[in-house]
């Protein structure tokens, strides 16, 4: 097809964050004018062929061709048919030659078709360029489809939003809204900007951003992102980020840049084409000239025709366009599933993974403390929860937050028959560093903290509790042990399934964590990883990853991925062959540091990323194999004089179109 080797720029220009303050421009479109040159050329070609073969009855009754349709008029007719499709290709060829790049597919097509005119094969010269152009139109349609599908998946921001000013709702351009403004989002509307929830809560469809099918409930003070869809009641939010700097804008920029990071296969094909194309030209010249010295009845015209056929068949356009398009299809397929690849090189690397190292907190677990169990002693469990939550309400520690949330959950589900912790009297609260809290709740002296706190105040308790691997909060009321709360990080529902799928793909799974080894071991056994290590500092994680990479050193094709949050684990993310980040829409640093971003928090998407990489590579190699085999067969036939230029053009354009359709297919594959 008529494209330079490096011009497969599949994202529209002008989508940089700086440009996104203005309404998004529409990309290139195919209209009737796009097809007009090919249609004009086709009509004239068919008319010329009809005039060539239409015969009238002569004076003697013998059929003869139309007299006027002979040179120079016949030549002029076919030149006019050639120019609408041939002139653009010749112009591109001349432009490439002026830049020092002679041996392009434009050059091959130009020489072959002008050579056909030189030996009087006008219809074949026109046909070669016409079908070449038709193939180009198919390719452009495929590229535009890829562009539109990516844009439809990601650019889901409305241009206008409703802003509250002086108590009045006003509809304004999203790009004009400032940080701190209050935006109103009606049920069914898309969120136009990033912000914090101002209303008590809201339910949002996040499928366009993360691929999640289950709506997400967002509470007051939590982040709301551009592209989410409000599902229920009217909500208000405080804008935190300008339109052009939203998380979604950064994701769009990321996808725009993705085509610049080429896979090894793409780089190989680009290098191959720079050797292959001049080689084809050289072989075509040899086919034309060398037989003069060996063939007794050498006819220059016949051997020149064979050389020209060889040039047409040898055009590498099927490889040059279908392979980058295949990789871009893989990037599009990933975006559709909430997996963002920062370049086609990472699609290739996913197919070579032999070890996947995962952080525990935030990757295989939710990263949020939650009360797992309440064990009261001499008191009702709900009463213990109310009293402890009232005391913990004076702390901002994550453990305190877990107890407060547990108390609120009990109240919502009817666990409290009377008032909740929010209305209890709390006084004299003192935070004892590294121990816990001391204070009076409803007139009772209370302690809530670790074993050291109870020992400090001489409160007796069962020493076996200190052996529990999870975090526990012990409580004492009026100097008596009153029970404890077991608090732990929750394992994600699909964590075990994700590990199982990775192992089924022959990938070794390792979990690293800074958490206590006893806790890490429990999580490791529940999710089924092959190896685990706890009590690790950041430098310890680096050492572990270096050790695992050293074990793979004997196989240059074996790669290692690290999956973490992209912030705390930055050193190991950088060290890994593929750095993967969970929950990319929630962290600016994640977007900057990771190579592959899982937009939601589902570990199963790690295995899906591997499957998308393998499917993409499979389709790319199908195209390479098909193109090379068909071309090799037809090249031999052409060199032997058994293939005409008609067959050559159908072989070239036909293979290219099949390869393009196959490349586009990856976007429509189903991944679990």
Which sequence positions are flagged as catalytic? 359
Contact 482, 507 (CB under 8 A): no
Length of the chain: 672
Q: Count Cβ atoms below 10 Å from residue 532 Cβ, excluding itself.
A: 20
Contact 358, 364 (CB under 8 A): yes
**Nearest Cα to Cα of residue 511 among 363, 369, 368, 611:** 363
Q: Tokens 């050797």, residue?
A: 275
Query: Tokens in use for 148?
Result: 């539109």
Edge-to-edge strands, sheet with 201-205: 216-219, 201-205, 229-230
Taking the alpha carbons at both ends of the chain, their separation in whole angstroms is 35
**Nearest Cα to Cα of residue 24 among 333, 343, 253, 254:** 253
| Dist CA 266 CA 320 (whole Å) | 8
Query: Tokens in use for 527?
Result: 């999710």
Which neighbouring-strand residues pair with 488? 370
Cα dist from 562 to 226, 227, 354, 548, 570, whole Å = 28, 28, 12, 11, 10
Query: Tokens in use for 258?
Result: 């993705």
**What is the chain's Cα-based Rg?**
34
Three-state secondary structure string covering 5-31: CCCCCCCCCCCCHHHHHCCCCCCCCCC
Spell out the alpha helix ranges (H) of 528-577.
Answer: 538-551, 570-575
Query: Tokens in use for 164?
Result: 């509250």
Q: Count Cβ atoms below 10 Å from residue 508 Cβ, excluding itself.
A: 19
**Nearest Cα to Cα of residue 518 among 557, 467, 450:** 467
Backbone angles phi, psi at 549, to 5 degrees: -65, -35
| Dist CA 233 CA 239 (whole Å) | 19
Backbone angles phi, psi at 318, to 5 degrees: -60, -40
Query: Angle 231-236-240 (CA atoms, 0-180°, nearest 5)?
Result: 110
Query: Tokens in use for 326?
Result: 């295949």
Contact 465, 452 (CB under 8 A): no
- Where on the phi/psi map is residue 378: left (φ > 0), alpha (ψ -120 to 50), or beta? left
**Nearest Cα to Cα of residue 183 among 205, 198, 202:** 198
Query: Tokens in use for 212?
Result: 């999640």
**Nearest Cα to Cα of residue 505 among 548, 553, 561:** 561
| Dist CA 329 CA 150 (whole Å) | 9
Which neighbouring-strand residues pair with 476? 447, 481
């Amino acid at each position: 097809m008529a494209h330079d080797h490096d011009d497969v720029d599949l994202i529209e220009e002008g989508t940089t964050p700086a440009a996104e303050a203005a309404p998004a421009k529409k990309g290139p479109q195919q209209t009737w004018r796009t097809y007009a040159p090919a249609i004009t050329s086709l009509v004239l070609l068919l008319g010329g062929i009809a005039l060539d073969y239409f015969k009238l009855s002569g004076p003697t009754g013998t059929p003869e061709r139309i007299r006027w349709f002979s040179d120079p008029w016949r030549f002029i007719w076919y030149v006019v048919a050639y120019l609408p499709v041939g002139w653009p290709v010749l112009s591109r060829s001349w432009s490439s030659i002026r830049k020092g790049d002679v041996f392009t597919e434009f050059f091959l097509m130009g020489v072959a078709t002008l050579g056909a005119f030189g030996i009087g094969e006008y219809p074949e010269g026109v046909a070669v360029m016409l079908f070449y152009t038709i193939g180009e139109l198919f390719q452009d349609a495929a590229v535009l489809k890829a562009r539109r599908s990516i844009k439809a998946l990601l650019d889901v921001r409305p241009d206008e939003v409703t802003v509250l000013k002086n108590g009045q709702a006003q509809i304004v351009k999203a790009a004009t809204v400032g940080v701190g403004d209050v935006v109103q989002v009606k049920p069914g509307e898309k969120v136009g900007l990033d912000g914090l929830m101002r209303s008590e809560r809201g339910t949002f469809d996040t499928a366009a951003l993360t691929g999640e099918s289950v709506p997400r409930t967002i509470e007051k003070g939590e982040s709301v992102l551009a592209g989410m869809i409000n599902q229920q009641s009217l909500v208000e939010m405080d804008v935190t980020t300008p339109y052009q700097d939203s998380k979604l804008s950064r994701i769009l920029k990321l996808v725009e840049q993705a085509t610049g990071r080429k896979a090894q296969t793409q780089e190989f094909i680009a290098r191959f084409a720079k050797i292959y194309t001049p080689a084809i030209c050289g072989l075509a010249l040899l086919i034309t000239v060398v037989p003069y010295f060996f063939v007794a009845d050498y006819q220059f015209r016949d051997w020149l025709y064979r050389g020209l056929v060889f040039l047409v068949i040898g055009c590498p356009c099927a490889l040059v366009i279908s392979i980058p398009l295949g990789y871009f299809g893989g990037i599009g397929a990933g975006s559709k599933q909430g997996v963002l690849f920062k370049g086609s090189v990472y699609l290739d690397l996913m197919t070579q993974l032999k070890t996947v190292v995962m952080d525990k907190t935030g990757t295989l677990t939710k990263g949020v403390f939650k009360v797992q169990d309440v064990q009261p002693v001499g008191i009702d469990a709900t009463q213990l929860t109310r009293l402890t939550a009232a005391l913990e309400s004076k702390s901002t520690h994550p453990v305190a937050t877990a107890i407060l949330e547990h108390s609120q959950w009990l109240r919502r589900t009817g666990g409290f028959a009377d008032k909740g912790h929010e209305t209890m009297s709390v006084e004299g609260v003192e935070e004892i560093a590294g121990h816990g809290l001391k204070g009076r709740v409803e007139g009772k002296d209370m302690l809530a903290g670790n074993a050291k706190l109870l020992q400090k105040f001489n409160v007796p308790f069962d020493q076996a509790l200190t052996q529990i691997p999870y975090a526990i909060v012990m409580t004492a009321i009026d100097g008596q042990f009153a029970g404890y709360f077991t608090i732990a990080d929750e394992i994600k529902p699909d964590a075990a399934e994700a590990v199982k799928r990775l192992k089924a793909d022959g990938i070794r799974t390792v979990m690293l964590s800074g958490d206590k080894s006893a806790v890490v071991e429990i999580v490791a056994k529940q999710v089924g990883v092959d190896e685990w290590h706890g009590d690790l500092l950041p430098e310890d994680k680096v050492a572990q990853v270096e050790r695992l990479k050293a074990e793979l050193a004997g196989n240059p094709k074996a790669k290692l991925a690290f999956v973490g949050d992209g912030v705390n684990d930055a050193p190991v993310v950088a060290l890994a062959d593929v750095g993967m980040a969970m929950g990319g829409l929630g962290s600016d640093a994640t977007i900057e540091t990771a190579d592959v971003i899982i937009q939601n928090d589902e570990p199963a998407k790690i295995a899906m990323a591997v499957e998308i990489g393998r499917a993409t590579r499979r389709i790319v190699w199908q195209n390479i194999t098909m193109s090379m085999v068909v071309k090799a067969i037809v090249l031999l036939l052409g060199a032997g004089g058994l293939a005409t230029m008609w067959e050559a053009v159908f072989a070239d354009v036909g293979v290219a179109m099949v390869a393009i359709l196959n490349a586009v297919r990856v976007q429509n594959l189903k991944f679990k």
